A and B are shown apart, each in its own frame.
Chain A
Amino acid sequence: MSNAPIKVSRRDFIIRSTQAGTAFALGLSLPGLGSGAVAAEGPAGADNSHTETPEVNAWVVIEPDDTVIIRIARSEMGQGTLTGLAQLVAEELMCDWSKVTTEYPTPGENLKRDRVWGSFSTGGSRGIRESHDYVRKGGAVARQMLIQAAAEAWDVPMDECTAANSVITHGPTGRTTTYGKVASAAAELWPPEHVALKDPDDWTLIGKPVKRLDTLDKLNGKQVFGADLKLPGMLNAAIKACPVFTGKLSSFDDAAVRDKPGVRAVVAVGENAVAVVAETWWQAKTALDALPITWDKGEHADLSSADIDAMLDAGLTSSEQVFVGNAAGNAEQGLAGAAKTIEAVYAYPYQNHATMEPMNATAVWTPERCEVWCPTQDGMAALEAAADAAGLPIDRCDVHKIHLGGGFGRRGAFHDFVTQAVTIAKQLPGTPVKLLWTREEDMAHGHYHPVTKCKLVGGLDENGGLTALHVRISGQSILAAVRPQWMGDDGADPVTFQGFHADGDHAISYSVPNLLVEHAMRNPPVPPGFWRGVNINQNAIYLECFIDELAHAAGKDPLDFRRKLMAEHPKSLAVLEAVADRIGWGKPAADGVHRGLAVVKTFGSYVAACAEVSVDGGKVKVHRIVAATDPGYAVNPQQIEAQVEGSFVYGLSALFHGECTLENGAVVQSNFHDYPSMQIKDMPQVEVIVMPSGDFWGGIGEPTIAVAAPAVLNAVFAATGKRVRRVPLKYAELS
């Protein structure tokens, strides 16, 4: 925005640029979902017009009663980013934290305002680490404007005024005023061009374990999720898509269900799905179950897990479609000259995100406009999907974000549920339609954690030092299916090498003189996706378990063996030493209890874990995990603890149970009875060491997921002498 002293007031400018085209253009009164916490029914105010109070800037609105509304562009899906981002803004705003609330701007507004809120994408543990700078500046700019407004009102120089806790004080006279009192005057000012951010040593809110801002409504049923939304006149849709991924819808016999109670329409949805629209969702779902459907299953109708296995096995030794992710020295020669070599093959299956809230979206379409309400990890991408399906220019569409009942990557890169909801709504112009998937549909139409296998060959010298390592990954590329534009010019998928890179956010934590890491790309016709942790989940198992194998082959202690390789990786070594120290590595564990270690750098953070397990009658019990994380700056330590614990549940559920298999071209598992997830009885004690070393911003939501499984598997080896090289663990014979 220009700083030029033009005549039009800044406030008029903003009002004019944000008021065009609200939901009211539809002639419907629809609830807005600013903060995600709204009444389930009836109008609760239009989006973001919660108040007549003008914003101070895009990030900050302050009401006359001193309520501070902080705008959050990223999505809250349980990971706490809403609170963390608000802390960042509030730190610089220097407002009263107890008066802070939040709201989501809509993606449509973001477009209209030249993307003033930047990225809406919430994945890759990027919420805080990629926006900390501009959101803090947003808070700092607003603070300056509030101070300037007070100084002008008092007719004193700005630099005689200070702000703290939403109160502005004029030093020489001791006069005070509050943010609420000067906010509308501040809104008329042009923002300063330059603001200085606080020195981290002066932070009073960043780094504090403040409570989440979104807890209370989650305790009494008030939190309205997308699945709960009810709009006036709304109908409900249930959907089935062809169970074979590349298959299509041939036909359906709607006469068989048209007269069932509540049924209003039976419609084809795109090329591969059919939906029943009814007054209630239960009616829609019941009618859909009774609907005769024929599918054209297409060329992959016979695909099975055995076919995919064979494809990946071939990739372990083939020289076709092989890409190099990291190389140093000469691994081949290194291995040839080694005193001892060992080799192992690991495997990791397809897994479903299984967010607790199944996929859903609510849409209303008219020839003029389309509005969508949905849980999404990326509002802008949801808007693009909506506009595409609506067949309308993007500026005639908008998306209203709702807190997610879990995301884990499922609701970021993919908006199939939005496309479907809009496609259905388009066939019932003017009527809001909520599409809710059954759990069975969710299991059948995921964007799955990709399958890979990995062959590792390591060479040791006479002293048991690691001199050469050859890693060959064979398996599916996420980028090839989801983001081909991010692939290398040579067709390589860099994300496949997470945890093996020479440097950067996902660098290997060891120095190996002769190293070769390769990927034989093998892409089965099953849609892959980003899944909390992405490829670090299996890569950490491959490398960290194999390092353990090497240590064992060298007759070394796994901690000592790692230390020798980590001289150039002090931050990784520090988190590893921290967990070893806390658990008492080297001292005996309780009777029957055994330990395993893992260390990883990923999503810009350094993490390590030490697990204590026992194995009784072939059953693995995880007793305790000590985890350390160095994310550079730690915005909210108690939320980091929650994320570490949560990541272990997700990671250990994946290790113990997570597997989607294919038969006849379709996913076999259909619900939580055959795709189980951990329960409280399986939960280990978790001790979290947060050790921020400053000067960088690492991720939180994902990194620690990677260390849970290898630490447990290494402990299982310590307990049984058996290596588990295939996930899920249920296949292992441990008794």
Chain B
Amino acid sequence: MAKLKVNGELLQVEADPSTPLLWVLREQLGLTGTKYGCGIGVCGSCTVHIDGAAVRACTLPIAEVNEGQEIVTIEGLSASNDHPLQQAWAELDVPQCGYCQPGIIMTAAALLAENPDPSDADIDAAVTNICRCGTFNRVRRGIHLAATMKKNGGAS
């Protein structure tokens, strides 16, 4: 029995301590927005925030997470699709199949929280996610657009 704080709620989970956070989120907590793509920390599909930092949940056993840490998943990023990134993504029609997108959005959200006006080089360094559909140019524009929206106070 472990306790995890996910999207602001303290939750009890029953899973072997070696179970990766990804599978606890998906299978125990029903938070399937966080995706499985590789299971080895390479593709970024499983990215969540832990205390604000982008973390790949597929290689993190829940034994290494404590209940004091704030876990945020794509479902908890905003109340109603109104994070600047979500607004920018809608504006630019960024997703294709969409499978990688929660991971990319969570990666970009952590970047923006730390660096409100990232350069292209900052984006290149932070966003190492794989997208087989190839949405990268719109992802880049989306991050810049979200940064502008945030600066102008257009969104939360």
Contacts and interface: CB of A to CB of B under 8 A. Distances in A.
Contacts of A638: 93
A225 B129 CA distance: 19
B97 A405 contact: yes
Contacts of B127: 679-680
A642 interface: yes
Bin the interface of chain B by size. 35 or more
Interface of B is mostly: loop
B31 interface: yes
A77 B12 CA distance: 36
Most buried by A among B19, B74, B81, B137: B137
A141 B31 CA distance: 43
Given A220-B75, A671-B38, A679 B95 contact: no
A553 to B, nearest CB: 35
B98 A645 contact: no
Interface string B28-42: 101111111111101
A681 B26 CA distance: 30
A337 B52 CA distance: 72
Contact of B35 (A217, A261, A280, A357): A357
Contact of A406 (B75, B105, B133): B133
Contacts of A236: 27
11 contacts: A215-B90, A219-B81, A227-B36, A282-B15, A282-B19, A356-B99, A356-B100, A679-B129, A679-B130, A680-B129, A680-B136
Most buried by B among A40, A221, A650: A221
A457 B15 CA distance: 64
B113 to A, nearest CB: 17
B98 A78 contact: yes
Interface in A351-367: 354-358
A104 interface: no
Contacts of B125: 681
Given A228-B32, A282-B19, A438-B39, A649 B89 contact: no
A217 B94 CA distance: 12
Closest 4 CB pairs of A and B: A221-B33, A649-B134, A78-B97, A405-B99
A700 B15 CA distance: 46
Contact of A356 (B20, B30, B45, B90): B45
B70 to A, nearest CB: 17
Nearest to B24: A282
Contacts of B40: 439, 671-673
Contacts of B86: 219-220
Bin the interface of chain A by size. 35 or more
Contact of A225 (B19, B89, B99, B123): B99
Contact of B89 (A77, A219, A354, A357): A219
Most buried by B among A78, A212, A678: A78
A281 B23 contact: yes
A369 to B, nearest CB: 27
B74 A221 contact: yes
Contact of B102 (A221, A224, A642, A653): A221
B43 interface: yes
B102 A680 contact: no
Contact of B137 (A218, A227, A645, A679): A645
Interface string B72-96: 0111011001000010011001111
Given A282-B27, A356-B133, 4 more contacts: A356-B100, A646-B96, A672-B42, A681-B124
B96 A78 contact: yes
A323 B32 CA distance: 50
Nearest to B90: A215
Nearest to A652: B134
Given A78-B96, A79-B96, A281 B27 contact: yes
A109 interface: no
Contacts, number: 184
B30 A41 contact: yes
A475 to B, nearest CB: 24
A673 B27 CA distance: 26
B30 A216 contact: no
B101 interface: yes
Contacts of A79: 96
Given A224-B32, A403-B97, A356 B27 contact: no
A619 interface: no
Most buried by B among A40, A282, A407, A646: A282
Nearest to B40: A671
Given A282-B19, A673-B40, A219 B101 contact: yes
B133 A646 contact: yes
A319 to B, nearest CB: 40
A650 B132 contact: yes
A50 interface: no
A40 B75 CA distance: 13
A678 B131 CA distance: 8
A280 B97 contact: no
A404 interface: yes
B9 to A, nearest CB: 16
B148 interface: no
Contact of A649 (B33, B94, B133): B133
A27 to B, nearest CB: 24
Interface string A656-696: 00000000000000011100011111010110000000000
Given A357-B35, A438-B39, A673-B42, A406 B132 contact: yes
B124 A356 contact: no
Given A221-B75, A673-B42, A215 B23 contact: no
A273 to B, nearest CB: 19
A115 interface: no
B140 A680 contact: yes
A214 interface: yes
A80 interface: yes
Interface in A402-423: 403-408
A712 to B, nearest CB: 15
Interface in A422-439: 436, 438-439
Most buried by B among A40, A219, A673, A678: A219
Contact of A672 (B16, B36, B130): B130
Most buried by A among B31, B38, B133: B133
Nearest to B125: A681
A582 interface: no
Contacts of B28: 280
